[in-house]
A = this chain, B = another copy of it.
Amino acid sequence: MKPRRTVFFVSDRTGITAEMVGRTLLTQFPDVEFHKHTLPFVDTLERVREAVKTINETARLEDHRPIVLSTLTNDDVREALYACNGLCLDLFAGFINRLEDELGMESSHALGLSHGMGDELAYQKRIDAINYALAHDDGLITANYHLADVILIGVSRAGKTPTCLYLAMQYGIRAANYPLTPDDFERGDLPKPLQPHRERLYGLTINPERLTRIRNERKPDSRYASLENCRKEIDVANTMMGKAGLRILDTTTKSVEEIAISILHDTGLMERVQR
């Protein structure tokens, strides 16, 4: 039986960063069964007292002390948390000291700004980009392609839609997508609505075995989902995208996040979203 440990992610904001870093750290210990709890919005001494109570209750009931991974920017709140009966590791504290030394100035000790609304204009840009992605999903509307930062093309279920939404949500990138369908294949050339926007196009491909699995979940035993048809569609699509000189990314073993990051890098959009 795997040893079992309880982990608390404690944050003065959403806890998303604490969870993300914490989960990655914990994956380094596959032989332990971790029970995870997030305590978000711990931004006052009252909230931290509640958190300490929860952690101490767990410490009392279990054989091992809980592990507490925090991202707290307020020194008083962090100090109060550290009085609990768990192993406390703050994911920010040490680095803030190192950066203070390097930069020769004190940190603001302000609440973390990530995952908040931050700059309202930048936030509005993300929301607008989501609306753009929804309106320009699946080749629905092709009129506003000149406003797209990138237009993803590829066969149905190659990963276009989730990637567009992710690019919009996380980076405020206006991403449209256009499915290559058997109709397009007969003509052999890039579909008409795409032709004026060659420099914005980015191709996604996928291996036929994975595509047939994905499509079978949606439309079991259909011609659409058959391995033979998937093979043929992918083959024709790759030829078409290659002839058009497009960059083509294989999404077979990639997550939405990995596809998105690759696109940002390949297109140079990464430099823009980092300004």
Contact = CB atoms under 8 A, between A and B. Distances in A.
A236 to B, nearest CB: 24
B130 A14 contact: no
Interface in A1-40: 3, 5, 13-17, 20-21, 23-32, 36-38, 40
Contacts of A103: 3, 5, 29, 32
Contacts of A274: 36-38
A143 interface: no
Contacts of A270: 38
A134 B161 CA distance: 10
Contact of A116 (B25, B102, B255): B255
A217 interface: yes
Contacts of A31: 105
B161 A107 contact: no
A255 B126 CA distance: 10
B89 A25 contact: no
Contact of A124 (B13, B24, B128, B217): B217
Interface stretch (A91-99, A146-154, A194-202, A220-228): A91-99
A61 interface: no
A225 to B, nearest CB: 15
A92 B258 contact: no
Q: Which of A40, A71, A261 has the most CB of B within 10 A?
A: A261
Contact of A16 (B14, B117, B257): B257
A121 to B, nearest CB: 11
A126 B178 CA distance: 21
Given A27-B113, A162-B169, 7 more contacts: A16-B261, A28-B107, A40-B261, A94-B94, A134-B161, A166-B169, A169-B169
